[in-house]
Structure 1
Amino acid sequence: MGKTIKIIALLGALSTLTACTGHIDNKSKNCSYDYLLHPAISISKIIGGCGPAADQ
């Protein structure tokens, strides 16, 4: 049990340290949001808070 917890903690730390982050602006450049792993799973993207994103 203890070994499993240590492995899970290690995987969690590695995924945090190797995560890819970024910043997205919408087309009219009046709203932006940051994402941690992928823009498609950002909360701001999911709720449609900024509208369509500008081309990167």
Structure 2
Amino acid sequence: MKNLVKITMLFAVVATLSACTGRIENRDKTCSYDYLLHPAISISKVIGGCGPAAPQK
């Protein structure tokens, strides 16, 4: 159990320090969702909560 906590803490620190977070807005700019590591694995994206995403710049 201690190893799981250590691994989880390490993962959180690495994700925070490497800036693997972001925000995606839909085409109409009326809805957005945040992701931790990659937009494709965001729960909001998987369930289609905001519709199609706007093109990224």
For Structure 1 versus Structure 2, the TM-score category normalised by the shorter chain is: 0.7 to 0.9
Q: TM-score scaled by structure 1? A: 0.78
Residue by residue, what CA displacement relative to the aligned partner does 1:5-24 show, whole Å, maximum 9, x if unpaired?
Answer: 33332221111112111100
Pairwise CA RMSD: 1.2
Matching of residue 22 in structure 1 with residue 18 in structure 2: no
In the alignment of these two chains, the number of paired residues is: 52
Q: Which has the larger radius of gyration?
A: 1
Structure 2: runs of 5+ lacking an equivalent: none
Matched with 1:10 is: 6
SS in structure 1 of the partner of residue 28 of structure 2: coil
Percent identity over the alignment? 63
